[in-house]
Amino acid sequence: MAITASKPAINIREKLAELDQPQGIKGTEVLRADTADEARNAIGARGRKNLIINGGFDVWQRGTSGTTPSSGYGQYDSADRWASYYNGTALSKQSSTINGSLSNSLKAIWSYVNIFLYTKVENGSSIINGKEVTLSFYAKSSTSSRLRVRFRFFDSAAETNSVTHDIETDSSNLLNTVWTKYSYTTTATDSLVNTTRDLAVLFDIVAGSSGDDIEIAQVQLELGNQATEFEHRSYGEELALCQRYYQRHASNTSSYPIGGHGYIYAATKVAIGKDLVTSMRGVPAIYMGDLVIRGGNTAGINSNSAITSIGTINSALDNSSITFTATCGSATLEVGQLATVCNALSNDGDYIAFDAEL
């Protein structure tokens, strides 16, 4: 049996003309894009995509090296927004060429128990719960350590009511001795989700031993199922994001008023007010090194009395400024006079820091 098929005639000239129909400047750019990043740039989708603060390890207010003093959460001892859990972990800033560009990284060396690094995303539970997200980073190890990667949801600014989501648990996942990019797309569910619970991104070693090390760089967590190019923010922007959680004030000039101003209300007591460089997450704890009270003597003597402790701390409603009391070691101050908090020496060891970390 013969079968005959027919199709309507096609006007080739008309079809060719349709190829020249204008798509607009941005439309043409999108159509020509080869990567997701190029498409984002074309349509102007430049909202901040990386949920990780200081994922490029550019900000180190506490110093470029440190050792975790004890085991437990809340041990922020080196790169801003990054903490280490286990006692004795040696942390340091490194610089390497990664994918053709010079980049900072965080290196951790196992001393006693394990390596366990993490960073927290404030209110991260409600941001990613039930959504597809992609975590990407570069990593390497001189000792071929086995890397494990997990999410863990916590109550706000605490480590209670945790819900863990495993991402990479394969004990055979040996890191290379050269920089290698890793990316994982997953959908994490927090069974206790609310608008205040935080997300912790955890990196640790499986079945390792003392002396093992890991180094990580360009850590990025973004919504969606693609690992796009790492988002490089300016140092000023990254620093401002970090200062919501930690601020450190010091000076290379001695007797400089770094810690605020106030008045003397008792022989060894001073009430101080201090404006912060940005609003902090909550009322901060205060840490200091070798600070003194200067001023406060009507006889023309520039009094200098070392601060021995910090007392009651209060803050503005938006945590943009704080007040606190300072106790001095000697009763040389004159009640009712003005005074200021200064550094005793011109080095970074004489500082005042405000800590509102998660």
299 DSSP 8-state letter:
T
Q: Which residues of 277-304 are buried (b: 16+ CB within 10 A; e: fewer)?
A: eeebbeebebebeebbbbbbbeeeeebb
Rounded to 5°, the CA angle 80-82-85 comes to 140
Can you name the CATH fold of 247-355? Elongation Factor Tu (Ef-tu); domain 3 (2.40.30)
| Residue 252: predicted pLDDT | 86
List, for residues 235-281, the tens digit of each pLDDT value: 999 999 999 999 999 988 888 899 999 999 998 999 999 999 999 99
Least confident of 47-56, 141-150, 340-349: 340-349
Tokens representing residue 325 in the block: 């009391």
347 pLDDT band (50/70/90 cuts)? Answer: confident
The kind and range of the H/E element at 327 are strand 321-328
Count Cβ atoms below 10 Å from residue 214 Cβ, excluding itself: 25
Specify the CATH superfamily of domain 65-242: Galactose-binding domain-like (2.60.120.260)
Q: Give CATH 2.60.120.260 domain extents, the chain.
A: 65-242
| Residue 22: predicted pLDDT | 57
Contact 270, 260 (CB under 8 A): no
- Number of helices (H), then strands (E), belonging to the chain: the values are 5, 20
Which pTM value belongs to this model?
A: 0.87
176 pLDDT band (50/70/90 cuts)? Answer: very high
Count Cβ atoms below 10 Å from residue 169 Cβ, excluding itself: 12
| Residue 16: predicted pLDDT | 62
pLDDT at residue 14 greater than cutoff 90: no
Cβ within 8 Å of residue 301, ≥6 positions away: none
| Residue 171: predicted pLDDT | 67
pLDDT at residue 28 greater than cutoff 90: no
| Residue 81: predicted pLDDT | 98
Q: Give CATH 2.40.30 domain extents, the chain.
A: 247-355
| Residue 86: predicted pLDDT | 95
List, for residues 266-325, the tens digit of each pLDDT value: 989 999 999 999 999 999 999 999 999 988 765 666 668 899 999 999 999 999 999 999
Count Cβ atoms below 10 Å from residue 150 Cβ, excluding itself: 17
Look over the chain and give the mean of its residue pLDDT values, rounded to a whole number: 89
Listed residue (139, 168, 130) closest to 151, CA to CA: 168
